[in-house]
């Protein structure tokens, strides 16, 4: 996660100069200078790339030269206050954590709860399907089941509703790095925000058989939380 210092437009200009990075809603980004504490999220292809970025940032903050070929990153770092890895405390916001903990407080261990799991949006439908199946697999491993799913490319939104046992919900409320709250593919976890008009009794195994939709698009490498449209919830029963 990039914590931006100063105008978000300066960050947007600098990040465009880094080869291989692409921002969603660039025009909107330039006009969002009213945010006093803007944040941006970078999706890196693997842990090697992540470590390289963090290593460059450490060199920058300690006054070391970045070396030849890293001038674009120097300009990006000049617009930042901090870089850190997105973790369980980010995925489960304090208010949501308190609600989940309260909801399961009087529930038995054999009971379950439906929650919303928002995924990191991938522009490629193939990659989005792979990500979704991987998360559904983790839900199955935790003893849960898929309830419904929703993907809206126009607003870069992809989420699922899942029914999880109390034990798994407790791990989420505790922000465990080894549970669903520790998955890199997960952006946010929230209590169920809408009532479904149709209840679907699908097992995770059945949901895992859904074929990925066709698509040849490239993955989006960076997204901004201002454009996740968290107030919009749309789940279509399978």
Alpha-carbon 52 to chain mean position: 21
Residue 11 domain-assigned (yes or no):
yes
Show the domain range for 46: 2-83
123 and 46 both lie in a single domain: no
Residue 61 domain-assigned (yes or no):
yes
How many distinct structural domains can be found in the chain?
Answer: 2
Residue 7 domain-assigned (yes or no):
yes
Q: Consecutive 10-residue runs of the chain (238 residues): their mean pLDDT?
A: 82 82 51 62 76 91 89 91 89 96 94 96 91 96 96 93 97 95 94 55 44 44 38 42
User: pTM for the full model?
Assistant: 0.70
For residue 129, the domain's CATH number is: 3.30.70.80
130 and 159 both lie in a single domain: yes
Ramachandran region, residue 47 (left: φ > 0; alpha: ψ -120 to 50; beta: rest): alpha
121 and 191 both lie in a single domain: yes
**pLDDT attached to residue 33:** 53
**pLDDT attached to residue 126:** 94
Residue 237 domain-assigned (yes or no):
no
d(CA 65, CA 21): 22
145 and 31 both lie in a single domain: no
d(CA 113, CA 237): 17
Dihedral sign for Cα atoms in the order 184, 199, 165, 208: negative
92 and 78 both lie in a single domain: no
**pLDDT attached to residue 16:** 83
CB 156 within 8 A of CB 221: no
**pLDDT attached to residue 236:** 39
In sequence order, which ranges of the chain are alpha helices (DSSP H)? Answer: 8-15, 26-30, 47-61, 71-77, 88-91, 94-104, 125-141, 166-173, 204-207
**pLDDT attached to residue 36:** 62
161 and 54 both lie in a single domain: no
Residue 234 domain-assigned (yes or no):
no
Residue 156: CA count within 13 A, CB half-sphere: 19
């Amino acid at each position: 996660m990039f914590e931006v210092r100063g105008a978000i437009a300066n960050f947007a200009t600098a990040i465009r100069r880094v080869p291989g990075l692409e921002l969603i809603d660039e025009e909107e980004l330039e006009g969002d200078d009213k945010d006093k504490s803007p944040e941006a999220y970078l999706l890196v292809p693997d842990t090697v790339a992540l470590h390289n970025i963090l290593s460059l940032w450490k060199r920058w903050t300690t006054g070391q030269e970045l070396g030849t070929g890293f001038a674009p990153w120097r300009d990006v770092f000049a617009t930042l206050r901090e870089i850190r890895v997105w973790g369980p405390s980010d995925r489960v916001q304090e208010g949501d954590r308190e609600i989940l903990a309260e909801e399961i407080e009087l529930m038995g261990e054999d009971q379950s709860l439906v929650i919303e799991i928002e995924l990191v949006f991938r522009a490629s439908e193939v990659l989005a399907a792979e990500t979704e199946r991987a998360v559904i697999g983790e839900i199955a491993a935790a003893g849960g089941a898929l309830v419904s799913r929703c993907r809206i490319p126009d607003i870069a939104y992809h989420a699922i509703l899942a029914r999880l046992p109390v034990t798994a919900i407790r791990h989420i409320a505790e922000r465990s790095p080894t549970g669903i709250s520790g998955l890199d593919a997960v952006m946010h976890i929230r209590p169920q925000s809408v009532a479904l008009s149709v209840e679907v009794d699908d097992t995770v195994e059945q949901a895992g058989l859904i074929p990925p939709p066709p698509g040849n698009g490239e993955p989006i490498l960076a997204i901004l939380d201002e454009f996740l449209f968290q107030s919009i919830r749309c789940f279509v029963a399978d």
